[in-house]
Amino acid sequence: MMDTNELIAALSTDSIRPPAPGRALTLALIPGVVIAICLFLGVLGLRPHFLSLLSEPRFLFKLLLLDLLAALSGYLVLRLFRPSAPPRGAVLALAIPPVLLAFAIGAELIVVPAAQWGVRLIGSNSMVCLRSIPFLGLAPLAAILFALRNGAPERPALAGAAAGLFAGAIGAALYATHCPDDSPLFVAVWYPIGIAFMTALGAALGARLLRW
C-alpha cells in the first residue's frame, strides 16, 4: 500500500517546519519563566533593600553564581537538542560554578571565625530554600521539556536531566533574590539539594517524554 517512494513523496510535500532549537527553547521559556516570576512575586518577593544589597559581595556572588549555572546548563540543553553535537564541552563547563563556589567557601572560612561557621551553614531559611527551588523551577521545567520535544536528543534521560538542571538553576537564581542567607556555606549545602531534585525529576520525565 505505501512503499518508501510514496513515503518520500509525502515527506517532500510536507512544508511545515518545526521551530529551530534556539527558537523553540526561547518561545517555550518566555511563558515558563513569566509564570515562575509571578509565583515568586506572589509568594516570596524580592528581599528588602535589594538594590543596595548588590554592593554586598556575598549576595552579589550568590546571584552571579546561580545566573552562571543557569546560562551554562541552558547552553547544554541547547546542545542536546541536536543529535551528533557532542555535549562534552558543555558538560565540562558545568564544573566552573562548583569550582568558583569552592574558592568562595575557602575565602569564607578564612574571613569568618570558626565559631560562626555552623551558624552560617545552617542559616535561617533552609526549609524555605528546599521547597522554593522546585516550586519556582516546575514551570520552567515543563517549558524546557516541551521545547525539547522538538529536538532529537540521542539520550533522552540525559537531555531530561539537563532540562531539570537548567530549570533548577532558574528556580534557584530567582529564589536567591529572596533568600536572606548569603554565605557560600549556606549556598553550598542547601541550594544543591533543590537543584539535584529538579535534575533527577527532569531525568525521569525526560526518559519518558523525550523519546523520538
Partner 1 sequence: MYDGARVRLDEREKEWAVLMRAGNAGDSAAYRRLLAQLTAALRAFAGRGLARAGASGADAEDIVQETLLALHLKRQTWDENGPLSPWLYAIARHKLIDALRRRGRRIEVSIDDFAEILPGADEGKGSVAADVSRHLGELPPGQRNVVNCIAVDGASIDEAAARLSMSNGAVRVALHRGLASLAAKFRSYE
- By the criterion CB under 8 A, which residues form the site for partner 1? 1-21, 24, 81-85, 150-152, 154, 211-212
Asked if 205 and 143 count as a contact pair (C-beta separation under 8 A), the reply is no
Q: With left for phi above 0 and alpha for psi between -120 and 50, is residue 49 left, alpha or beta?
A: left
**Helix/strand/coil for 21:** helix
Cβ neighbours of 56 (radius 10 Å): 12
Question: 17 or 49, CB closer to partner 1?
Answer: 17
Q: Which one-letter amino acid corresponds to residue 182?
A: D
Question: Nearest approach, Cβ of 210 to partner 1 (angstroms)?
Answer: 12
Minimum separation from the CB atom of position 1 to partner 1 (A)? 4
Give whichever of 33 and 159 is closer to partner 1, judged by the CB atom. Answer: 159
* Nearer residue to partner 1 within complex by CB, 6 or 56: 6
> Can you tell me the distance from the alpha carbon of 16 to that of 136, in angstroms, rounded to the nearest whole number?
34
How far apart are the C-alpha atoms of 160 and 173, rounded to whole Å?
Answer: 20
Query: Based on CB atoms, which residue is closest to partner 1, 131 or 211?
Result: 211
Minimum distance, C-beta of residue 169 to partner 1, in the bound complex (Å): 23
Rounded-to-integer distance, Cα 7 and Cα 199, Å? 39
Nearest Cα neighbor of 179 from 46, 67, 49 is 46
In the complex, least distance from residue 21 CB atom to partner 1, rounded to whole angstroms: 6
Q: Which is nearer to partner 1, 13 or 55 (CB)?
A: 13
- For residue 36, give the C-alpha cell: 515562575
| Minimum distance of partner 1 from residue 136's CB (angstroms) | 29
